[in-house]
Structure 1
């Protein structure tokens, strides 16, 4: 998996108008909604057909492949692409909210207006929508650090749950029929 600074630099070179965390969230939302991480994934995720395909072996290609593999990992090895834990709380919480904004937007593009969500999936999506609308606050203490860690883990699990509902579930049902 490329690092956040690598993804941000590659995104700027590719002409993308979002940060690395939001881009990764968008890619994850696209995949969770049933989309594919082909060479045109940035155009699909950003809903901009004018964007070029990713270069084979480049940072964005590696990001797409690694993220798709992580979301399919049966050992739940999926991670959010966020700033280092040493970064200020404000920056980390802001990046998490941006990740959620990217996820929610691209999930809607891939899954459509009536995705096949379980009750838990519908609740998880509603929570991600609320987090996508949140704004970071200055300051914070150890309790806020703990809360952010718990929210990050919830978001990670929610993304996997939605991927199971909309990507894995239909794929497995198709094999059974």
Structure 2
């Protein structure tokens, strides 16, 4: 993975410019926007981040370029056939509670971004509704985790579940990133 797009680098850059978010929340928000149906050609995502995480102020060029890199990398991951979604979280050497908090921030960002584009959950499949309910539960997790193998395994499972669920939402509701004008055949 590009060092420029790892959690620590993005988070440090955000805090350097007094942006009130970490890399996980930024990527989660972008992912939520795309999974909720925002067309990739829609540049409103930058305004969403400015309004919600930078008190409406513009970003310095260096930071805007970094965020554009995060957005482009995410788009690429979502359309690749391998279904690889790399969540921007603290790395595996970070304390487990930092990683857990990163996951919570990611999920909260996702739900926020998703909600901006997808208000009508009635049209969503039961799988998507269930995933969003689970995300709501994950976003409220407060229990500190102990540094042991069981907690590591549990966190790894939740991270994998979040990845799969985000991809499920994208596959169902995301606008086609390969060409916004393509019509997807409906499956009944």
Single out whichever of 61-70 and 49-58 deviates more from structure 2.
49-58
Q: Which position in structure 2 is the counterpart of 1:42?
A: 46
Larger RCO (CA under 8 A, 6+ residues apart): 2
Q: C-alpha root-mean-square deviation of aligned residues, in Å?
A: 2.7
Residue 66 and residue 130 in structure 1: after superposition, are their counterparts in 2 closer, same or farther (change >3 A)? same
Distance 1:46 1:55, change over 3 A: closer
Gaps of at least 5 residues in structure 2 are none
- Is the counterpart of residue 8 in structure 1 residue 17 in structure 2? no
TM-score by length of 1: 0.85
2:96 is aligned to 89
CA contact (8 A) 2:26 2:109 kept: yes
Deviation at 1:172?
9.0
Task: In structure 1, list runs of 5 or more residues that go unmatched.
Answer: none
Q: What is the rounded CA distance, in whole Å, between the counterparts of 2:115 and 2:153 in structure 1?
A: 30
Q: Who is 1:52 aligned against?
A: 58
Q: Is the 8 A contact 1:115 1:166 kept in 2?
A: no
Please point out which of 113, 117, 121 is paired with 1:106: 113
Report which stretch shifted further, 49-58 or 68-77: 49-58
- 1:1-177 equivalence runs, <5 A: 1=2, 2-13=5-16, 15-36=18-39, 39-45=43-49, 47-48=51-52, 50-52=56-58, 55=61, 58-114=65-121, 116-168=123-175, 174-176=183-185
Distance in 1 between the 2:181 and 2:126 partners?
Answer: 19
Deviates more, 1:108-117 or 1:136-145: 108-117
**Alignment size in residue pairs:** 176
Distance 1:100 1:175, change over 3 A: closer
For the residues of structure 1 that align with 2:128 and 2:60, how far apart are their CA atoms?
31
Q: Return the alpha-carbon distance in structure 2 between the equivalents of residues 32 and 150 of structure 1.
A: 21
